[in-house]
Amino acid sequence: MIASMYQRKMKAAFVIAVFIILAGIVVLFIDLPHSSDEWFNLISIGLVGMLMISIAIFSRHKYMNVKDIHIPERIPVLFN
């Protein structure tokens, strides 16, 4: 259960990061920034994309740590 959570988080972060980075590239090619404010906006888009990539990498690292751990779904009852 925990491993699947990290796996879903990793996949979602990679997909979102790809969309953010592609949006930044499209903005760069369609309208080349001229002022410092436009460059700041483009750099902020890139930073958000890199943040999502770092979340995905962190989730992959945590997934690799917990994927072989078996956690029982129910705690056995000692006394009936």
**Tens digits of residue pLDDT in 15-41:** 999 999 999 999 889 988 899 999 999
CA atoms within 13 A on the CB side of 61: 6
Following CA atoms 29, 35, 40, 46 in sequence, which dihedral angle do they give, to the nearest 10 degrees? 10
The rounded distance, in Å, linking the Cα atoms of 1 and 49 is 27
Answer yes or no: is pLDDT of 10 > 80: yes
User: Tokens at residue 55, please?
Assistant: 């979340």
Higher pLDDT among residues 1 and 12, named by residue: 12
